[in-house]
Amino acid sequence: MSLSPDITEIIARARSDLRMGVPVVLCAADGSAALVMAAETLDGQRLADLRALGQSPVLAITARRAATLKARAYDGDLARVLLPPDARLSWVLAVADPADDLKTPMKGPLQTQRDGDAGLHRLALNLVKSARLLPAAVVLTLTDGEQFAARHGLTRVTLDQATPQLLRTSPLHPVVSARLPLEVSEAGRLHIFRPEDGGEEHYAIEIGQPDRAVPVLARLHSACFTGDLMGSLKCDCGPQLRGALLQMGTEGAGVLLYLNQEGRGIGLANKMRAYSLQDQGFDTVEANHRLGFEDDERDFRIGARILSLMGFSSVRLLTNNPAKITMMEDNHIKVVERVPLKLGENAHNHAYLATKASKSGHLL
Ligand SMILES: Nc1nc2c(ncn2[C@@H]2O[C@H](COP(=O)(O)OP(=O)(O)OP(=O)(O)O)[C@@H](O)[C@H]2O)c(=O)[nH]1
Ligand SMILES: [Zn+2]
């Protein structure tokens, strides 16, 4: 029935439930099912209620986090850590969150599950990640997923439908655009694009009236609250943002996409967790890994989609990141030229920029 939520809408609900600390039920076609809670938003009462169901829960973490904790990841990209019978909420949080790894030696060694299928655990982690929470989820096997969800009023997500949905880029739709005179050019215009999956909106600033028949000067800028707005010296984002706009203003035409993928796609709270780890001596890539994330969790396809929707098919791309060029080419946007954007190096971000060059392939 069209009034019922489809899989995209059910996933959006699940994401918001997990952020609120509400459990969700995951079901597979073979009848297996699991009750899932995000470790980050779990509370003591819900953990006790979950334990009262009788089965032993596991804590699903990514292989990246497992490597830091020296836990064996038998499932490739993830590990299922067995909760010791006396494990409290603080134990769950200490496994999920690396903040105190160095201060508090881990209870361990951690035992991980080897037998059985990890499909529902993988879906749990993907959902928690897409909710911009720490990638760790408490998972309890259920025998009657459908009835359990109905009895407790919980959102139920099916593995077969959800997995392809989480892998694809949500379609985006233009919402509105309006004139926006800017310091760099009075001929500015702001366009808003909204994804169908309930995720964050993305923006495009169009400067002048770029001819769609020739390559446009373009920048894909990922949100950086600290650098773009606060003038943080820890990265180069603020100077890059303003430098790109200035170049477009000077040339009289260009398009800057402002993609709401804060912290290379891990969200601002997790980026601040990464910053704390950087203060403990880890570099930007190591910090992401200790948290359980990949170096870069952004979906660059979104940028190519927005350019296509705006009628652009080729660009002169302002970037030092070769991955952005590859992604554009793979998604039907021709990059005729890379325009370097070397701005804003200082004593605080020198090591960060050097790490991006040595570990993430950024061009100098
Ligand atoms: N996770 C994480 N994200 C960071 C850190 N420092 C900056 N960021 C984020 O990194 C992203 C930088 O985005 P961009 O400047 O578009 O991308 P880039 O990959 O550096 O590529 P170019 O600037 O085009 O060369 C922003 O989303 C920032 O919020 C960090 O230490 N950890
Ligand atoms: Zn930044």
Residue 196's φ and ψ, nearest 5 degrees, are -75, -15
115 and 132 fall within a common domain: yes
Q: Which ligand has the minimum distance to the alpha carbon of residue 262?
A: 1
Q: Please report whether residue 285 resides in a domain.
A: no
State which of 221, 224, 359, 360 you would mutate to test the pocket of ligand 1, scoring each by most atoms of that ligand within 8 A of its C-beta: 224
Residues 114 and 187 in one domain: no
Both 14 and 104 in a single domain? Answer: yes
Decide if 331 is inside a domain: yes
Token pair listed for 36: 């899932």
- Residue where a domain stops, chosen among 165, 193, 220: 165
Over residues 326-335, the mean pLDDT reads: 96
pLDDT higher than 70, residue 105? no
**HSE-CB for 358 with a 13 A CA cutoff:** 10
End residue of a domain, out of 136, 165, 194: 165
Q: Which region, left, alpha or beta, applies to residue 198 given φ > 0 means left and ψ of -120 to 50 means alpha? A: left
Residue 223 alpha carbon, nearest atom of ligand 1: 27
Q: How far is the CA of 237 from the centre of ligand 1 (A)?
A: 7
Ligand nearest to the CA of 233: 2
Number of domains making up the chain? 2
Give the end of a domain, one of 146, 165, 184: 165
pLDDT tens-place string over residues 280-302: 999 999 999 999 999 999 999 99
Q: Assess if residue 251 is contained within a domain.
A: yes
Judgement on whether residues 203 and 347 belong to the same structural domain of the protein: yes
Distance, in Å, from the CA atom of 173 to the CA atom of 290, rounded to the nearest integer, reads 36
Partners of 219 in the beta sheet?
A: 256
In-domain check, residue 2: no
If asked whether residues 237 and 310 sit together in one domain, one would say: yes
* pTM greater than 0.90 (yes/no): yes
**Could you identify the atom of ligand 1 that is nearest to the CA of residue 323?**
19
Q: What is the ipTM of this complex?
A: 0.97
Give CA–CA dist 168/95, Å, rounded: 30
> Are residues 106 and 161 located together in one domain of the fold?
yes
201 close to 193: Cβ distance less than 8 angstroms: yes
CATH code, domain with 224:
3.40.50.10990
Q: What average pLDDT score do residues 52-59 get?
A: 92
Q: Is the pLDDT of residue 247 over 70?
A: yes
pLDDT at 14: 98
Residues of the domain holding 131: 7-165
- pLDDT at position 52 over 70: yes
Q: Could you tell me if residue 274 is inside a domain?
A: no
